[in-house]
Amino acid sequence: MSQKFVVVDLETTGNAPKRGDRIIQLSAVVMQDDVILEQFTSFVNPLHPIPPFITELTGIDDQMVKDAPLFEEIAEKVSSLLEGAVFTAHNVSFDLGFLQNELEEAGYAPFIGPSLDTVELSKVVYPTADSYKLTELSEGFSLSHDQPHRADSDAYATALLLNRLTAKLRDLPIVTLESLLNLSYHLKSDVSKVINEIIGEKRHHIENLPPHLEVFRGMALLKKNSSQLPDVSGSIAYPKVESEKEELLSNVNPLFEKRSGQFQMMDAIMESFLEERHAVIEAGTGIGKSIAYLMPCIFFSLQTNNKVVISTYTNQLQDQLMNKEITALEKGYGSSFRTALLKGRSHYIHLLKFEYSLKEQEYQYDSVLSKMQMLVWLTETETGDLEELNLTSGGRLFSNRIKHDGWYMSKEKDPWIERDFYLHARKRADDANIIITNHSMLMSDAMNQNDLLPQYDFLVIDEAHHLEKAAKNHSGISLDYIGLKFLIGQLGTSERKQLFSKLESVLQKLSISPAVHAFEIDHHLSNLDQDLDDLFSVLSQIVSKKDKSRQHMQKVTIRMNEELSKQRIWQSAVHCAERVRSELKHIRVELEKRLQLLSSEEKKLSTEEKAFLEEMHSFLLEWAAMEDNLVKIIIRPSTEIVAWMEADLKSIPNSILLSGKPVSLQKPLNERLFTQKKSIVMTSASLSVDGSFDYFMNEIGLEEQGVLKLQLSSPFQFEKMAKLVVPRDIPDIKTVPMQHYIDAISNYIIGLAQATKGRMLILFTSYDMLKRTYNLIKDSGILEDFILMAQGISGGSRTRLTKNFQKFDKAILFGTNSFWEGVDIPGEDLSCLVIVRLPFSPPDEPLVQAKNEQLKSNGVNPFTASALPEAILRFKQGFGRLIRGNEDRGIVIVFDRRIVTTSYGKSFISSIPRIPLIQAELDEITDLIEEWL
């Protein structure tokens, strides 16, 4: 790049220069023509102490800056470096804003040139990156970055990243670059300068489009893989003896270690398929579960010409199977087989809708950024699966507009039909031996019987302990104030430039006059808005009334049951809901009539107009679902579901959420899944309670007869790897006030943290308790040199919090709910797992309450039949966070003394691998930790 770039990074005492935070280190790398010309770095004396958190983060302490120059002494040098340059930084608004403040304080003119944010550019150029943090991008691209969070290393790494980003931009076809340029003027930093210069360079020579790309309708995209699918004839025999299995698995994985449990699992699955029996297999950590079920699936499919479907709980696991295990098996297998990954239609991009969106004169930041990301992604994606993209939350709203919902107009008239990603995925699935999907898609296919998956009779359900939850989520319904308002806002009145206005424009262009005028629909929209506010105003009163009994609670949950339905205020809510529903229906019917009028004139419609109709059709599907949910939750509550209302008392009505889920799905799961398929294998590390699968099987409606059952313990030597500790000097949770208990565990956590030097994961069952404990510890200031991270407080997803936790030595992570499973922190990053409370579901949770009532009415004890086994399975999942690999070592500390003082406590202890149980006081425990770790 002929333009001069100065890449800057600052380390500071905090992030608020207006409140006295100062620079402690500055580094500037000067680049031109993709070459680093010089780097200037200096510590800076901030004239006040560096906070311990910053020292822990950067490694810079007061001693290192004591004799460093003041900023005023280096301001002239910095100012001269920036002259005529593009100011570049990773998160440019922070570094530029901070530096401007320091320059002004030192009496120098602020920098007024162009600026470039490498975070923003990275999002465009690498739209599928897991993270846009500098450390993770540097690691992913093997860039030199020896000391993260030090200005010299960060600035140098950012300069190398800039080179990487511009190189990738040069590889993009000019048609993509031109589309990017048009959008880039609406970004926050001057990305347009970079793209414009590269287009100028490319125009000096004729571009040959790479053979893997094609340009269609002005958009470059990866060509569909039209190569012949592998011939799967001549399959080889299933390896029956151990030596054959060892040989085969050694070809798949050069680091293969023999595990008899893995072989047993392979044989059991093969047997259940051949004998057409269902199977339940619990496989402990370290068995190699994925390979153990993939191998027999492949052999069985090839030998019998039957499709096998494999369902995982998350899209992440699905992608891992395809990209890791399947890839390894294909290399080492010695015989070809066909695999396809299939998700629900709405996961895929609808190319006609996307093409139309590019022509809109709409420049909202998140939409612009998302469009740019998608333009680059289309040159790389084989699947068209929108999940691949790392979008902002606003970007996800945009992707909702261009997702696939089938076709409203005649499918054959879609110019993109030959390149449609969903149809391509369906075709691959039709031709495949193994189809990998997720529980959500599996449930949609089974419960709605709508043939989303090709015909199959053999199924493996991984992470099967989530099956019932996935079924309930699929059958569940919800409504929230913000969501309803957003949907109505998307439609807009005929005056606002939203969907309704666009629809009217198309009708006018074709001189079509609907029976009902736009003014009338506007009137109904206005009524709808008011009726919705009235409804949520009444719901807010119900929530506020409930709060009087629980002053300390910020979040409130109210079950919408018979008792509530008899109250006069609830009758008011129902009347308001009926008015809302009437308006929703009237508007929907009129909009559907307009769509029908336009579809009858399909030949006169331009491609853009057809794409708009597809978007409008998708929108009306959401509108109809909202209408339907309102009826099922408030107006005519379904007897099949338990309905409840949740709200955060600090932000009502905005936080009000109405939900409904079935109490049990035993019957539908049995009828629509287990009796329909010849063999279903369910596997997980947590399916048994006290050596029995009865609870799991009963929950999912799987009948006992003919089921193959197998329990395989972990090959790890847990007795040498872990200890279970129960403190003697913590009060019994049931005998003291909650604040007393929180005070006690907070003091304990502080003592443990100092012994373990961090590396602790603390699992709570209640967000309220987590928050109060976290705040108490943070406010004490005793762990000031530790990094404290808490779910719902520190910000970021579970994955992001986990990654951040692994970066710091002295880190403590507070988690609830989703942190009890699926969190993988191997090795020394996690040495101590604290379980604050045995994970019983709160008895006043609406679903739990309804289930208990149902069990009682059948003469069954809810505690032993449901609450206890559910808590034991969750406890097993929580324990599983500690030991993830053969080399791991650690301590599990359970604060809840009920594990040793109650008769049912033994069931929790016997549910985990046999490890030493120690009861001791804090001093003894800290000594034990220091010695053990």
Taking 3-state DSSP, the helix, strand and coil percentages for the chain, each rounded to the nearest 5, stand at 50, 15, 35
Residue-level pLDDT at 308: 97
Residues 31 and 133 in one domain: yes
Q: How confident is the model at residue 146 (pLDDT cuts 50, 70, 90)?
A: confident
Q: Cα–Cα distance between 73 and 230 in angstroms, integer?
A: 69
* Residue 378 maps to a domain: no
Q: What is the pLDDT of residue 827?
A: 62
Mark whether 496 and 631 lie in a shared domain: yes
Write down the pLDDT at residue 360. Answer: 87
Q: What is the pLDDT of residues 5-17, one digit of tens each?
A: 999 999 999 888 8
- 733 shares a domain with 595: no
Contact 682, 461 (CB under 8 A): yes
pLDDT for 526 equals 94
Distance CA 710, CA 272 (A): 11
Asked which of 172, 206, 240 is the last residue of a domain, the reply is: 206
| Whether residue 651 sits in one domain with residue 743 | no
**607 in a domain, yes or no?**
yes
Compute the distance between CA of residue 50 and CA of residue 13 in angstroms, rounded to an integer. Answer: 6
Average pLDDT over residues 164-192: 96
Query: How many structural domains are present in the chain?
Result: 3
Asked if residue 660 belongs to a known ligand binding site, the reply is no
Q: What are phi and psi of 437, to 5 degrees?
A: -140, -170
> Any binding-site annotation on 678?
no
Select from 361, 353, 421, 364 the least CA-distant residue to 392. 364
Same domain, 657 and 729: no
290 assigned binding-site residue: yes
Checking if the pLDDT of 842 tops 90, the result is no
Give the model's pLDDT for residue 819: 78
289 is in an annotated binding site: yes
Mean pLDDT across 782-789: 86
Contacts of 399 (CB under 8 A, 6+ apart): 349, 370, 386, 389, 391
Q: Is 288 annotated as a binding residue?
A: yes
Could you report the per-residue pLDDT of 707-725, keeping only the tens digit for each? Answer: 999 999 988 888 888 899 9
Choice among 437-441, 576-580, 860-864, 880-884 with the minimum mean pLDDT: 880-884
* CATH number of the domain encompassing residue 783: 3.40.50.300
What pLDDT, on a 0 to 100 scale, did the predictor assign at position 411?
A: 79
**Residue 250 confidence (pLDDT):** 83
Average pLDDT of the residues in 862-884: 91
Instruction: Give the pairing type, strands 641-648 and 657-662.
Output: antiparallel
Cα–Cα dist 605/627, whole Å: 30
CA 288 to chain centre: 25
Share of the chain above pLDDT 90, in %: 65
Using the predicted structure, report yes or no on whether residue 896 has a pLDDT greater than 70.
yes
Tell whether the model's pLDDT for residue 388 goes beyond 80: yes
Q: In the structure, what pLDDT confidence band is assigned to residue 144 with cuts at 50, 70 and 90?
A: confident
| Helical ranges in 650-763 per DSSP H | 666-669, 694-700, 718-721, 738-756
Question: Do residues 778 and 647 both lie within one domain?
Answer: no
Residue 399 belongs to a domain: no
pLDDT, average across residues 394-420: 88
Do residues 647 and 555 touch, judged by C-beta distance below 8 A?
yes
Q: Are residues 524 and 654 in the same domain?
A: yes
DSSP string of 627-670, one letter each residue: HHHHIIIIIS--TTEEEEEEEEGGGTTTT-EEEEEES--HHHHI
Residues 512-565 have pLDDT tens digits of: 999 999 999 999 999 999 999 999 999 999 988 765 545 556 788 999 988 888
Looking at every residue in the chain, the average pLDDT score rounds to: 90
What whole-number distance in Å separates Cα of residue 553 and Cα of residue 679? 48
Q: Say how many Å lie between the first and final Cα of the chain, rounded.
A: 52
Asked if 574 contacts 635 with a C-beta cutoff of 8 angstroms, the reply is yes
Whether 734 has a binding-site annotation, put simply, is no
Q: Residue 88 is part of a domain; what is its CATH number?
A: 3.30.420.10
pLDDT for res 826: 61
Measured CA angle at 55 (ends 53, 56), to 5 deg: 65
Provide the sign of the torsion angle of the four alpha carbons 701, 711, 326, 141, taken in this order. positive
In 3D space, the residue among 331, 619, 580 whose CA is nearest the CA of residue 492 turns out to be: 619
* More confident position, 502 or 227: 502
Q: What pLDDT, in 10s, does the model give residues 334-354?
A: 567 889 999 888 899 999 999
The whole-model pTM stands at 0.86
Q: Could you tell me if residue 643 is inside a domain?
A: yes
Q: What is the pLDDT of residues 732-744, one digit of tens each?
A: 888 889 899 999 9
The answer to whether residue 68 sits within a structural domain is: yes
Assess whether 613 and 729 both reside in one domain.
no
658 and 722, same structural domain?
A: no
Instruction: Compute the average pLDDT of residues 462-472.
Output: 94
Task: Check whether 234 has a pLDDT greater than 70.
Answer: no
Residues 626 and 751 in one domain: no
Q: How crowded is residue 668: how many other Cβ atoms within 10 Å of its Cβ?
A: 17
> Which ranges of 236-314 would DSSP assign to H, the alpha helix?
242-252, 260-274, 289-304
User: Are residues 60 and 182 located together in one domain of the fold?
Assistant: yes
Say whether pLDDT at 147 is over 70.
Answer: yes
Q: Which of 662, 680, 701 is the last residue of a domain?
A: 662
Q: What percent of the chain has pLDDT over 70?
A: 96
| 800 has pLDDT over 80 | no
Where in the sequence is the domain holding 861, given as residue range(s)? 718-932
Q: Name the domain boundary from 185, 206, 227.
A: 206
Q: Is the dihedral of CA 899, 905, 911, 914 positive or negative?
A: positive
Instruction: Please check whether residue 28 lies inside any domain of the structure.
Output: yes
Average pLDDT in the 444-461 region?
Answer: 90
Cis peptide before 653 (omega within 30 of 0): yes
Whether residue 667 is contained in a domain is answered as no
pLDDT in tens, 564-594: 888 999 999 999 999 999 999 999 999 999 9
- Residues 743 and 870 occupy one common structural domain: yes
The verdict on residue 427 lying in a domain is no
